[in-house]
Amino acid sequence: MRTINIEIGMPNSEDAMNTLNNRIYAERATRARCVKIIHGYGSTGKGGVLKRACRQKLMGYKRSGIIKGYCPGENFGPFSEEGRKFVEICPEVRNDLDWGRENPGVTIVLFR
């Protein structure tokens, strides 16, 4: 599974969302089945700005049909129904290092 790291270089939210937008469309054009987005959790430990902005953007992509769905890292594993559904659709996600780690700093995206 390919990775999109939007927290590298500590960008502001607007720059990170521009990066996310460009990379989502680029990965979709390659006919990738899924990607992992690294957005971090935030240095305060309360949840970061990039995480919230990323998931809000992904919600819009899902509503508009650009992506099939997304799975928050904290649900990305065998103990979550959401995680198990992702494995049914895209079995290779099980090989990702974050599978089962409940990592809130990542989100997995499934393309149509």
Tens digits of residue pLDDT in 80-90: 999 999 999 99
pLDDT, residue 100, reads: 95
Q: Give yes or no for residue 108 having a pLDDT over 90.
A: yes
| Structure confidence by residue, pLDDT tens digits, 3-44 | 999 999 989 999 999 999 999 999 999 999 999 999 998 765
User: Is 76 exposed, middle or buried, given 0-12, 13-18 or 19+ CB atoms closer than 10 A?
Assistant: buried
Query: Residue 66 half-sphere exposure, CB side, CA atoms within 13 Å?
Result: 17
User: Is 71 exposed, middle or buried, given 0-12, 13-18 or 19+ CB atoms closer than 10 A?
Assistant: buried
pLDDT, residue 41, reads: 85
Tokens of 84: 């198990």
pLDDT, residue 43, reads: 63
pLDDT, residue 47, reads: 55
Helix axis angle, 49-63 to 13-29, nearest 10°: 40
Q: In the structure, what pLDDT confidence band is assigned to residue 112 with cuts at 50, 70 and 90?
A: confident
pLDDT, residue 45, reads: 53
